[in-house]
């Protein structure tokens, strides 16, 4: 018996939606195995990991707080990936946006008022865009592989952040702790619910979802992205420039990552610290693919991945499990989504060996 993949004439619309669900289901099955191997009661662990975070009001708010940056970054990345450009460095652009956006509350703490926050958000976007422009320009000018350059720039940005909060931007009244001063109230994201942590960043997420949805479905810009991603030669034939598209998608995804970065430090964190993200920029890659590179899918997938963060924390507390378990699930999920996506264009066929009258048993060929 042999398993064969047979190409479908048209792609399967059912599998477009079923593939991520299948991937989540297989991930859960493997999760049971992992929990059992670690000596925990699999059902209890599953409950703590994936259900309990949804049962309390505060943790639902926390889910939104985590989903905001992941989703926003993933929406930007989806444009890159659809155009066949590989920005892996959103974590760095997130950090760059956070640093540049923090310029006002840290360097000019005396400036307060309603204009501070918009200025910070703008500079956050600008920081992410500038940082994303580096790998884009390197690719256009020198043909440098953007996967490598964008990824390596992540570590540069993180070290820059580390140095800046220990050095020039350290809080003068902070007893030497490596942190910036706490942002003024006017430099912080307004909350959606009093006393919670859920902030208006959620609005930006919905705006981004709607804008990208419309852009991809209806406009010539979205059409260019899809054409260049699916058939570069046809894109050139249509008169679309691959280089311009590389720059455009890097700027958009970098800008959204930068916005997510400044909203994170102006929101839940409230100051700059050596570490401001538990890997949101990398998790967003998983979200983009789990969400089918479609804005609505990404919105849903963003909440699913946010749940793994909360579940990971809960399992750490309740079961004493390492937070690396959460990382394992995230990696498994990405792996399985990509594997299941094969089923969109191929179907599985079982082939039985047929007897060859002249030789031994051979497999039928198709």
| Residues at the site binding other proteins, with contacts judged by CB under 8 A | 9-11, 218-221, 223, 226-227, 230-231, 233-234, 236-239, 354-359, 362-366
We find the least distance from the C-beta atom of residue 249 to other proteins, in angstroms, to be 17
258/228 Cα distance (integer angstroms): 25
Residue pointed to by tokens 């399992």: 315
We find the least distance from the C-beta atom of residue 231 to other proteins, in angstroms, to be 4
Helices 116-142 and 90-101: angle between axes, nearest 10 degrees? 140
277/71 Cα distance (integer angstroms): 14
We find the least distance from the C-beta atom of residue 115 to other proteins, in angstroms, to be 31
Looking at the Cβ atoms of 141 and 233, the one nearer to other proteins is 233
We find the least distance from the C-beta atom of residue 217 to other proteins, in angstroms, to be 9
We find the least distance from the C-beta atom of residue 78 to other proteins, in angstroms, to be 17
Nearest by Cα to 87 from 7, 153, 163: 153
Three-class SS of residue 287? helix
User: How many C-beta neighbours within 10 Å does residue 351 have?
Assistant: 14
Looking at the Cβ atoms of 203 and 234, the one nearer to other proteins is 234
What the block records as the tokens of 158 is 């993180």
Looking at the Cβ atoms of 43 and 362, the one nearer to other proteins is 362
What the block records as the tokens of 154 is 């992540």
What the block records as the tokens of 232 is 């570069």
Largest CA distance in the chain: 90
Looking at the Cβ atoms of 331 and 364, the one nearer to other proteins is 364
User: How many C-beta neighbours within 10 Å does residue 253 have?
Assistant: 31
168-176: long-range contacts (C-beta < 8 A, 24 or more apart)? 169/102, 169/106, 169/107, 169/272, 171/271
249/246 Cα distance (integer angstroms): 6
We find the least distance from the C-beta atom of residue 362 to other proteins, in angstroms, to be 5
Looking at the Cβ atoms of 69 and 295, the one nearer to other proteins is 295
Looking at the Cβ atoms of 11 and 324, the one nearer to other proteins is 11
Looking at the Cβ atoms of 243 and 275, the one nearer to other proteins is 243
We find the least distance from the C-beta atom of residue 363 to other proteins, in angstroms, to be 8
With beta carbons less than 8 A apart as the criterion, state whether 168 and 160 touch: no
Looking at the Cβ atoms of 227 and 257, the one nearer to other proteins is 227
We find the least distance from the C-beta atom of residue 294 to other proteins, in angstroms, to be 15
User: How many C-beta neighbours within 10 Å does residue 243 have?
Assistant: 12
DSSP state letter for 185 = G
Looking at the Cβ atoms of 195 and 366, the one nearer to other proteins is 366
What the block records as the tokens of 332 is 């498994």
We find the least distance from the C-beta atom of residue 366 to other proteins, in angstroms, to be 7
């Amino acid at each position: 018996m042999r398993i064969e993949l047979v190409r479908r004439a048209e792609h399967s619309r059912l599998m477009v939606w079923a593939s991520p669900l299948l991937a989540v289901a297989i991930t859960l099955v493997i999760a049971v195995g992992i929990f059992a191997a670690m000596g925990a009661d699999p059902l209890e662990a599953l409950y703590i990991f994936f259900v309990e975070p949804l049962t309390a009001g505060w943790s639902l708010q926390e889910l939104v707080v985590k989903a905001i940056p992941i989703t926003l970054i993933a929406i930007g990345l989806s444009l890159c990936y659809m155009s066949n450009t590989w920005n892996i460095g959103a974590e760095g652009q997130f950090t760059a946006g956070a640093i540049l956006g923090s310029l006002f509350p840290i360097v000019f703490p005396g400036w307060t008022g309603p204009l501070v926050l918009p200025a910070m958000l703008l500079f956050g976007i600008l920081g992410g865009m500038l940082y994303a422009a580096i790998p884009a320009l390197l690719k256009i000018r020198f043909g440098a592989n953007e996967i490598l350059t964008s990824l390596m720039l992540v570590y540069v940005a993180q070290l820059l952040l580390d140095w800046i909060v220990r050095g020039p931007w350290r809080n003068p009244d902070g007893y030497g702790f490596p942190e910036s001063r706490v942002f003024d109230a006017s430099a912080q994201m307004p909350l959606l619910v009093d006393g919670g942590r859920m902030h208006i960043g959620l609005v930006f997420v919905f705006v981004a979802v709607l804008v990208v949805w419309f852009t991809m479905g209806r406009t010539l810009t979205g059409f260019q992205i899809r054409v260049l991603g699916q058939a570069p030669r046809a894109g050139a034939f249509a008169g679309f420039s691959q280089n311009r598209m590389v720059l455009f998608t890097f700027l958009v995804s970098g800008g959204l990552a930068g916005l997510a970065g400044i909203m994170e430090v102006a929101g839940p964190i409230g100051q700059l610290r050596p570490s401001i993200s538990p890997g949101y920029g990398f998790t967003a890659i998983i979200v983009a693919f789990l969400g089918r590179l479609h804005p609505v899918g990404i919105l849903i997938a963003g909440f699913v991945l946010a749940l793994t963060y909360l579940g990971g924390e809960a399992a750490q507390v309740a079961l004493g499990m390492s937070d690396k378990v959460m990382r394992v699930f995230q990696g498994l999920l990405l792996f399985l989504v990509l594997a299941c996506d094969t089923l969109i264009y191929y179907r599985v066929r079982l082939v039985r060996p047929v007897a060859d009258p002249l030789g031994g048993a051979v497999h039928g060929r198709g």
